[in-house]
Chains A and B, each alone.
Chain A
Amino acid sequence: MAEKIILNMITQRAVEEGQAMEKGKTTPEYFAACSVCEMNPEDMKRLGIWRNTNVRVTSEAGSVIVKAIEPTQYCPPGLAHIRQGVWANQVVPPRTQSTGVPQYSGFPVTIEPAINEKIKSALELVQGAVGIWKGGN
């Protein structure tokens, strides 16, 4: 059982994410829809993480705590998916290959169990990053 594994990360749409976003980015629905990382059960086994427990995802650009879930749409071993939004963009590398488009899909991440770590709210992540987070929810 490895302590960390390297997976190839993509960030994409989901209809739950679209609906939650229109409900509002500060709602519990948006939190539930977007603070998740879908990965193949084989990869979870390799890492010894249980379904629906928290993991730390780290890329060259940053790190974020999200909940590991089994894919709602089949994801092959080696590939991981965070739905686009606040949590995904904590780890999306801003490099654009001189086209303006960041590396939203296809970047390496390490994933490790983080059962006791808390998932931060969208506001805490974004306001925290720019130094205006005042606490609370």
Chain B
Amino acid sequence: MSVIVDFLIGFFILVGALLCLIAMFGVIRLPDVYTRNHAASKAATLGVMSILLGTFLYFYFYEGHFNSRVILGIVFLFMTAPVSGHLINRAAYNSGVKIWDKSVRDDLKEYNQKKRNKSSID
């Protein structure tokens, strides 16, 4: 039993740390804001979540201490990380940050133009 728990704790914390490291590589390596945001908002979320899960398991099985704040932290992170990624992307797009290697940059540009035309007519 305790071997399994030890293994799980070590697994979660190591995987979390690795995911955070890889998210950092992604932020350095990827070419533009949007793709960097992919790396930062996904890998870092799961990384921090699994580190927190490992911490929770450690304190639960070694100290017998059920820390509900860690669980709440996991839930809050899970809810807020995609929203923050979306908001940063949206702010970047609306302030005119260019996309790296455009392949299909379809409707958003048109949509914005249509909106601008409509507001200039009004």
Q: Determine if chain A interacts with chain B.
A: no
- Interface residues of A, Cβ cutoff 8 Å to B: none
